[in-house]
Amino acid sequence: MTDQQAETADAAQAPAPTAHNTAKLAVIVGALGVVFGDIGTSPLYTLQTVFNPADPHPVPVSNHNVYGVVSLIFWSVMIIVTVTYILLAMRADNDGEGGVMALITLLRRWRSTHPGRRRAATVLAAVGLFGASLFFGDGMITPAISVLSAVEGLKVVQPSLAEYVVPITAVIIIVLFLVQRRGTESVGRVFGPVMIAWFTIIGALGIGGIVEHPAILEALSPTYAIGFLAGHFHIAFFALAAIVLAVTGAEALYADMGHFGRRAISRGWVFLVFPACTLSYLGQGALILKDNSNISSPFFLLVPEWGRLPLVLLATAATVIASQAVITGAYSVASQAARLGYLPRLRVTHTSATTVGQIYVPFVNWLLFASVLTLIFAFRSSAALAYAYGMTVTGTISITTLLFFYVAHYRWNVPKWVIALGAVPLLAVDLLFIAANLTKLVHGAWLPLLIALTAFTVMSTWQRGREVVTAERERAEGSLQEFIDQLRSGKMPIRTVPGTAIFLNRGGVSAPLALRANVEHNQVRHEHVVIVAIDTEPVPRIAEDERVTVNELGYGDDGITHVTIKFGYTESPDVPAALAQLEPDESEGPLDLDKASYFLSKIELRRGKAATMAGWRKQLFLATSHITADAAEHFGLPRDRTVIIGSHIEL
């Protein structure tokens, strides 16, 4: 057999990689449909906003300025998205999950094992929480500016349609939020192909513009960006406030890493999204150089007149997809924040039987809905909203960069001089963008800061109030060990009734209020008692074999079992399903879970006189507590076998 024949035979016997490659391609396509919607629709409005003559700090249209702006856009995207996120930040994951919330949990975990660094880690975790708060502003502004910018293409198709832009946008937004409760699983199947068509078309249109003025390719040289900044800083500095729009959605690449993986997102960015967006910006720059009047709508004017209406429809579909990604991202951030103790327990509905991350949070949905409609009718144009948009983006990027390098130094032991080489230039770029956007403060940049400060105040207040309530609750509950010892001593006049009672508790130290009330007031206990401590760990998911732990508390044959059930912060707690994993020999006798009664302690909060928090924060905490979701539904308890026993605690 010849060498060639041997190679042929080996190849024939080797397993075909087709299925594996198809699966990887499907993941990349899925990422294109979800992850890149926001950043992929930035070419709709970025250049138009930079040269908007109504801007309070307008950039004059000249050949030199066009080259400088296009070059700054290209290198800003290269530095912030490709370097900061793709090459660096996406290497810092929390069991596969990414985003600011993942960095916060990494810091919290590191803080618990390094008491000496607790203060610094706490401060940075608070900074990270503010970054997560900025994301809520992003969730409000993105649908408004994205859909507005797409529908504004109607003015290019037919100027008389300008008065219909806002009403049409409002209708699209209303429909978008109304269908959220149905989930995105079925719609998501077409997201990827639509975005592939989008990137292909905007890249092709960009090439068409470049052909008209090939010299625009020189803008890829960093010398134009540096020359524009250094030689015309008084113009370039203000232009940065609009140029940052080119990197909107960069945080989504990182935040959605848990759903698609770093490799799929990186490949989608490098091989399709980045080239397509770059070609679009170059093509628009060439179009403006050809005729300065094209600054009115350089994106839509790239296409021939006959193709503008179809492009408006495709752009609208792409911006709806971008909005969908941010909305579902807001659901995820709110859900994770609730499980980490920064928000009250929220009602969460899973909209997919196969995909864990597809959830619907009614409270967040209607809050975003009201906010987005308000923004549309208040600002009425994408150009006006752009002033507000940049502050959200720059703030989130800067916080992500700061937290990443802190994690890199203290968790990975990267030398300080290496950290400085990377952190100083990247943070300098980020801070320059923040400074530029601060010039738009009175023109709308105050809005995302106000939203973020409001969200941060609510979350930090809830975290502090929860600590106070937990301490007061543990004091009222008393020691679990002492309470069980009293039961065993026979000094308490109680009788035992048949059946199984399951008491949910926050830990293994104190006695559940419901158990104490049942014994002290009803003077009964069940034959089999299971005290369940529920812990939400700072990791996305818990392995099934690690979910349930039986705690040895020395109760002997008293028929009392204490177990700890762990859930990750992206999981929905299902207590009955977790208890079903218990083996008969792990509990004190057979547990009839099909007929077991579940007992919950409902706490009524009251404002007290103790100086635990400022008065206004107590009021805010009490007001926020009213959105707390039903505990039985949250923990998956059978409602017909759940008993709620109330108590009150002063804050």
Considering the domain architecture, whether residues 527 and 384 belong to the same structural domain is answered as no
Residue 262 sits at the vertex; the CA angle it makes with 257 and 267, to the nearest 5 degrees, is 120
Residue 46 sits at the vertex; the CA angle it makes with 40 and 48, to the nearest 5 degrees, is 135
217 within a domain of the structure (yes/no): yes
Name the residue range of residue 165's domain.
Answer: 32-444
Tell me how far CA of residue 206 lies from CA of 52, 283, 289, in angstroms.
20, 4, 14
Considering the domain architecture, whether residues 435 and 481 belong to the same structural domain is answered as no
Q: Is 185 left (phi over 0), alpha (psi -120 to 50) or beta?
A: alpha
79-88 confidence digits (pLDDT tens):
999 999 999 9
Amino acid identity, residue 273?
Answer: V
8 within a domain of the structure (yes/no): no
Measured in residues, the chain has a length of 651
Considering the domain architecture, whether residues 583 and 540 belong to the same structural domain is answered as yes
Rounded distance, CA 400 to CA 85, Å? 9
Q: What SS3 state is found at 601? A: strand
Position 468 pLDDT exceeds 90:
no
Tokens of 281: 């910006």
* CATH value at residue 99: 1.20.1740.10
Considering the domain architecture, whether residues 325 and 253 belong to the same structural domain is answered as yes
- DSSP-derived secondary structure for 390-417: HHHHHHHHHHHHHHHHHHHHHHH---HH
Q: Is 138 left (phi over 0), alpha (psi -120 to 50) or beta?
A: alpha
Rounded distance, CA 532 to CA 512, Å? 9
Of 393, 423, 444, the residue that ends a domain is 444
Highest mean pLDDT among 258-267, 268-277, 358-367, 626-635: 268-277
336 within a domain of the structure (yes/no): yes
534-573 confidence digits (pLDDT tens):
887 777 788 888 888 887 655 445 778 888 898 887 777 8
Considering the domain architecture, whether residues 258 and 158 belong to the same structural domain is answered as yes
Considering the domain architecture, whether residues 426 and 488 belong to the same structural domain is answered as no
Tell me how far CA of residue 125 lies from CA of 101, 111, 409, 465, in angstroms.
9, 10, 15, 18
Please identify which residue in the block is written with the tokens 């809050």: 367
16 within a domain of the structure (yes/no): no
Position 3 pLDDT exceeds 50:
no
19 within a domain of the structure (yes/no): no
Confidence of residue 409 (pLDDT cuts 50, 70, 90): confident
State the average pLDDT over residues 503-514. 80
Considering the domain architecture, whether residues 509 and 382 belong to the same structural domain is answered as no
13 within a domain of the structure (yes/no): no
Position 191 pLDDT exceeds 80:
no
53-80 confidence digits (pLDDT tens):
887 888 899 999 999 999 999 999 999 9
Considering the domain architecture, whether residues 438 and 485 belong to the same structural domain is answered as no
451 within a domain of the structure (yes/no): no
Considering the domain architecture, whether residues 505 and 372 belong to the same structural domain is answered as no
Rounded distance, CA 336 to CA 362, Å? 15
130 within a domain of the structure (yes/no): yes
Of 391, 423, 444, the residue that ends a domain is 444
Considering the domain architecture, whether residues 428 and 521 belong to the same structural domain is answered as no
- Work out how many domains the chain is built from and give that number: 2
**Residue 590 CB neighbours (<10 A):** 10
Rounded distance, CA 47 to CA 382, Å? 12
Confidence of residue 97 (pLDDT cuts 50, 70, 90): confident
Considering the domain architecture, whether residues 155 and 202 belong to the same structural domain is answered as yes
The percentage of residues in the chain with a pLDDT greater than 90, rounded to a whole number, is: 26
Considering the domain architecture, whether residues 418 and 481 belong to the same structural domain is answered as no
